[in-house]
Amino acid sequence: MWGLDPQAIFLNHGSYGATPKTVLQAQSAWRERLEAQPVQFMGEVLPRALRAAAAELAHCVGAEPENLVFVENATSGVNAVLRSLQFQPGDEIAYTNQGYGAVRQAIQFVSAQSGSLPVEAQIPFPITEPEQVVAAFEAILTPQTRLAVLDHITSPTALIYPLPELISLCRERGIPVLVDGAHAPGTLPLALETLGADWYTGNAHKWLFAPKGCAFLWVAPHQQAHTHPTVISHGFGQGFLAEFDWVGTRDPSAWLAISAALEFIQGLGIDPIRQHNHTLMMQARQLLLERFGGIPPAPENMLGFMATLPLPSFWQQWRLDLPLPIRARQLHDDLWHRHRIEVPIIPFAEQLWVRISAQLYNHLAEYEQLALALERRPDGFAV
Ligand SMILES: Cc1ncc(COP(=O)(O)O)c(C=O)c1O
């Protein structure tokens, strides 16, 4: 069912997803159709097929098809929005310390270009309740805040942010909201038309099982006229869909295969998939917490299919002569090369953390292998 290496323990669905073979076969079939007559395909087949695929994806995320366009990834979706907006010197862009690195870079870029100010909210982690996110974010909003960039599910800490509460906070102050929902489609039920955000970008290639490069940008109707793709092409000035649906020659097969990905999900049922992944993640987290010691760094209601945990204390003391990101990289590489375990080691808030993912192909015994590997001190001795 999966192309994953059977010799490896793959505990990182969160980074790029893993695509079922049936979905990849559907993608190949679209590529073959394109290659049989590229001109006819791009000109006649694609415009309709792309809109049909967008309609299916829109239905899945509670959106109207005319408000949703495909992009290659969440990073592109965020860039399209940030680089469409006109900021003035002194304007503030609010985001959080747990935002994704590439998104924070894009915020820095537009801030430097416009003279606006990136303002970072310090969301605590460990955390005990979602209200702490709301309070920390509220604390940085000012009359100069022109945009809020919020995650739905964070990358380093795997937290589900209380998005409805955060959005109401911003709306009360007239602050538009861009949501980075990279991990949310598939993990959480979505109702984008009623969420109250201005822009929402999400990946289908992570938890919706689509091929790599399948993501979307949803834009509220009142923001569409001034939201443009990062690459301007033939459709400029002809409306939101015309601008985004063609940005030059590219391979659209990942988007067209969304139908196969949704069929895969329907075959198993979205509720049983969610139940499986969340339950396995909680069991795995418990197992690791018991082995490493320590208290859960986040409440269950802030977690989906991933969890971040601090590494045992001897890892925190290991190679203190090296910068934290290098230590994280070395430990990650060591887990892969010595144990054939793929799992992200995260340098965050001056500590080393491990982020586990749970997906249909994972089993509890694999997290046991991870615990055994991490219980070995760097000098090779078991503790
Ligand atoms: C919160 C968050 N935003 C954005 C991204 C970027 O996704 P992509 O590489 O598909 O653009 C990720 C990737 O893991 C992420 O975790």
List, for residues 125-159, the tens digit of each pLDDT value.
999 999 999 999 999 999 999 999 999 999 999 99
Distance (Å) from CA 29 to ligand 1 centroid = 27
Distance (Å) from CA 206 to ligand 1 centroid = 9
Low-confidence ranges of the chain (pLDDT < 70): 378-383
Distance (Å) from CA 75 to ligand 1 centroid = 6
| C-alpha to C-alpha distances, 119 to 9, 163, 186, nearest whole angstrom | 39, 19, 30
Which one of 95, 154, 203, 208 would you pick to mutate in the ligand 1 pocket, going by the greatest count of ligand atoms within 8 A of its CB? 203
Tell me 48's DSSP state: H
In ligand 1, the atom with minimum distance to the C-alpha of 74 is 11
Which one of 15, 70, 100 would you pick to mutate in the ligand 1 pocket, going by the greatest count of ligand atoms within 8 A of its CB? 100
**Helix 364-375 / helix 324-339 crossing angle, nearest 10 deg:** 120
In this structure, the residues whose C-beta lies within 6 A of any atom of ligand 1 are 15, 73-75, 100, 102-103, 151, 155, 180, 182-183, 203, 215
Query: CA-to-CA distance for 143 and 146, rounded, in angstroms?
Result: 8
Q: Give residue 294's pLDDT.
A: 87
Look up residue 380 and give its amino acid. G
Distance (Å) from CA 87 to ligand 1 centroid = 24
Q: Enumerate helices (H) and strands (E) in the chain, giving the number of each.
A: 16, 12
Q: pLDDT, tens digit, for every residue of 3-57?
A: 999 999 999 999 999 999 999 999 999 999 999 999 999 999 999 999 999 999 9
Question: Which ranges constitute the DSSP H helices of 61-100?
Answer: 74-82
In ligand 1, the atom with minimum distance to the C-alpha of 15 is 14
Q: Which residues are bridge partners to 20 per DSSP?
A: 2
Distance (Å) from CA 157 to ligand 1 centroid = 13
Q: Which residues are bridge partners to 191 per DSSP?
A: none
Q: Give residue 236's pLDDT.
A: 97
Residue 262: name the closest of 213, 303, 197, 214 by CA.
214
The domains found in the chain, sorted by start residue, are 23-264 (3.40.640.10), 269-375 (3.90.1150.170)
Largest CA distance in the chain: 65
Distance (Å) from CA 321 to ligand 1 centroid = 30
Distance (Å) from CA 341 to ligand 1 centroid = 21
Cα Rg of the chain (Å, integer): 21
